[in-house]
A and B are shown apart, each in its own frame.
Chain A
Amino acid sequence: MLAYMIRRLVILLLSLFLAAIVLFVLLRLLPGDPANALVGVGATPEQIAAAQAQLGSDQPLAAQFVKYLRDIVQLDLGNSFVSRASVLDEISRRLSVTLPLTLASFVLALLIAVPFGILAAVKSDRWYGLLLSVVSQVGIAVPVFWLGILLVYEFSLNLRWLPSGGFPLRGYADPARAVQSMILPVLTISIVMSASLMRYVRAATLEVLGSDFLRTARALGESHTGALMRHGIRNGAVPVISVLGIELSTAFLGAVVVEQVFSLPGMGSMLLLGIQQRDYPSIQGVLIVSTLLVLMTGFLADLLQRVLDPRLRQGGKQ
């Protein structure tokens, strides 16, 4: 287990380093010197030179890269060109919208997908079992932002049950409205996500249903349901858990897009705003933090899987 953890940690650090390089290169590919974006149109050459000196963009690339890495390690993401506020503060404010959105969607998706996925497998010979697998097949192809627009059309504009978008200015100090404005975004992400999760749950359950250990348990006198509960769930959970990390990351990326449908002030809208305003520190900050979150999720999911599955812990294969 320890050897695995170290190996996995090395991979995580390598991934982070690689991600940092990719982001550095991409940000330098953006047209124009960031200094121009800082001082704005009509600045004198002296002002531009001063801005370049301030940002360090007149330094050689290698020196810039070292400074960039040092800043990241110290979590110093700089200040926004536009608002001059600390990027890290802005990100933590935005994460207070994006993270609850992601996690709530993820949990709801699991609550939908697990029971229905198992049902779809156990009752695959009945019409509703078949219907469930068709629904999940169809759900995977639904564009998440499209579903968001349709939900807004029905539940906000037609029925007028819920707000069509936005987030209360006072944030969670206004809990009723904050929750209200989260309902449709959460539903949007979790519906699409549960479709793909359900496929994994169904496939894992089918595998368990055809397994020798279940037949043995039945032969030893356990009831079908009892055997499934005692042995099926633990075994079926392994392949499902292995995709949870990816699904959680998908939920996060879905949130980035869905925030735009519902004009939520989260990470996605910060990135878009940064791109429109050529606000380099904001763009860089959002991408660094998002990548960090996605890679950390993968790392934790892999560890969790080891903890839960003794076969993997002993170095065996799935």
Chain B
Amino acid sequence: MSTASTAFPRRSKRINITFWLGLVLVGGISLAGILSLFWTPYALSDMAGGRLEAPNASHWAGTDRLGRDMFTQLMIGARIALIVGCGAVGIGAAIGVTTGLLAAFATRFLDDALAAFMDILIAFPTLLVAMLVVAAREESSLGTAILALGIGVSPIIARITRILTKQVLGQDYIIAARVSGTSWGAIVFWHILPNIVPFLAVNLALQFGLAVMAEASLSYLGLGAPPPNASWGHMLHEAQGTVYTAPWGAILPGLALFALVIGINLLADGLRDRFDPSRRDM
């Protein structure tokens, strides 16, 4: 891989495009989601519009079959997607990073056991389990879905943390820090975390996209939270029945989901290229 980066002289242009395009997509959707806390074109329950209106001047994304404004729902969906992504990745990172660090520092036996355990969990069909967990509640709530997805992504994060930490632990500056009397806690905080965070961030971004996509699948299957916490997946679930008369109702929420996921992926790629010069041409 390291030879590849010298073989192609053109490099930085594409990185910037990738990174900035990702930033624009994710940033735009985030702004819409945050804005929805203070302002939406209509109230969510406002059914004053005509039924299944095409996008027009007063309803920018048209209306659903109850006459509710679709743009309002899209903005709220953006907020929900961000909450799901951040929540699931937050929970996943809290569990995963802790376990990963623990495994890297543990004795050989415990490390092997934890690593095998992670492999087992990674092979587990998360979506099926999430379906069950979400369905287990009488009322589907967003919190349950976030918790289920957070636990679902944690083993992958744990595995990556473990590998990255082991790489850093083999470095000379760790030995130097140990010799000069730095405690392990300080080493984790000052030397290990700063060195693994860039690479970890790339992976967390990818997990963010996966979590948002998985929640949308759950909602699409009718297992998601009801309005006012309805996600883009729920909108697609609702719009599928009227796709022939009102195709935009099914196109726009999917497009929003697609834009967010690809934005996150591009951002992650851009970050990786920035942090890891040897991968710049991959």
A interface residues (Cβ-Cβ under 8 A, vs B):
11, 14-15, 18-19, 22-23, 26-27, 29-31, 137-138, 140-146, 149-150, 152-153, 157, 203, 206-207, 210, 249, 252-253, 256-257, 260-261, 271-272, 275, 283, 287, 290-291, 294-295, 298
Q: Is the CB of B32 closer than 8 A to any CB of chain A?
A: no
Task: Say whether A145 contacts B129, CB under 8 Å.
Answer: no
Can you spell out 9 A-B residue pairs with CB atoms less than 8 angstroms apart? A11-B120, A18-B121, A26-B136, A29-B136, A143-B254, A272-B222, A275-B131, A275-B132, A291-B124
A143–B257 contact, CB under 8 A?
A: yes
**What residues on B are CB-neighbors of A146 within 8 Å?**
236, 250, 253-254, 257-258
**Which of B220, B236, B247 touches A153 (beta carbons < 8 Å)?**
B247
Residues of A within 8 A of B95 (CB): none
Given A11-B120, A143-B216, A207-B1, verify A149-B250 contact (CB < 8 Å): yes
Determine whether B221 belongs to the interface, using a CB cutoff of 8 Å to chain A.
yes
A272 touches B128 (CB 8 A): no
Q: Is the CB of B124 within 8 A of A19?
A: yes
**Chain A residues near B207 (CB-CB < 8 A):** none
Closest 7 CB pairs of A and B: A146-B254, A141-B262, A141-B261, A275-B135, A15-B120, A157-B244, A30-B136
In the complex with contacts A143-B213, A149-B243, A260-B220, A271-B131 CB distance below 8 A:
yes
User: In the complex, A298 Cα to B119 Cα: how many Å?
Assistant: 11
Query: How far, in whole Å, are A256 and B236 apart by their CA atoms in the complex?
Result: 17
User: CA–CA, A143 to B212, complex, Å?
Assistant: 10
What residues on A are CB-neighbors of B133 within 8 Å?
Answer: 26, 29
Please measure, in the bound complex, the distance between the C-alpha atom of A140 and the C-alpha atom of B262, giving whole angstroms.
8
Q: How many whole Å from A84's CB to the nearest CB in chain B?
A: 22
Chain A residues, Cβ within 8 Å of B247: 153
Which residues B125-139 have CB closer than 8 A to chain A? 125, 127-129, 131-133, 135-138
From B123, B128, B220, B257, A287 is in contact (CB under 8 Å) with B128
Q: Is the CB of B223 within 8 A of A275?
A: yes
Residues facing A in B237-264 (CB within 8 A) are 239-240, 243-244, 247, 250-251, 253-254, 257-258, 261-262
What A residues does B131 contact at CB under 8 A? 271-272, 275
B-side contacts of A291, CB under 8 Å: 124-125, 128
Give which listed residue, B7, B116, B125, B222, contacts A210 with CB less than 8 A. Answer: B7
Distance to closest chain A CB from B117 (angstroms): 8
Least distance between B178 CB and chain A CB atoms (Å)? 28
Q: Which residues of B contact A143 (CB under 8 A)?
A: 213, 216-217, 233, 236, 254, 257-258, 261
A163 → B minimal CB distance (Å) = 14
- Is B265 an interface position by the 8 A CB rule? yes
The listed residue (B137, B138, B251) touching A150 by CB distance below 8 A is B251
A74 to B123, CA, bound (A): 24
Contact assessment for B123 and A290 in the assembled complex, using a CB-CB cutoff below 8 Å: no
- Distance to closest chain B CB from A32 (angstroms): 9
Residues of B within 8 A of A295 (CB): 123
Given A141-B209, A143-B261, A146-B236, 4 other A-B residues pairs in contact with their CB atoms under 8 A? A30-B136, A143-B236, A253-B127, A287-B132
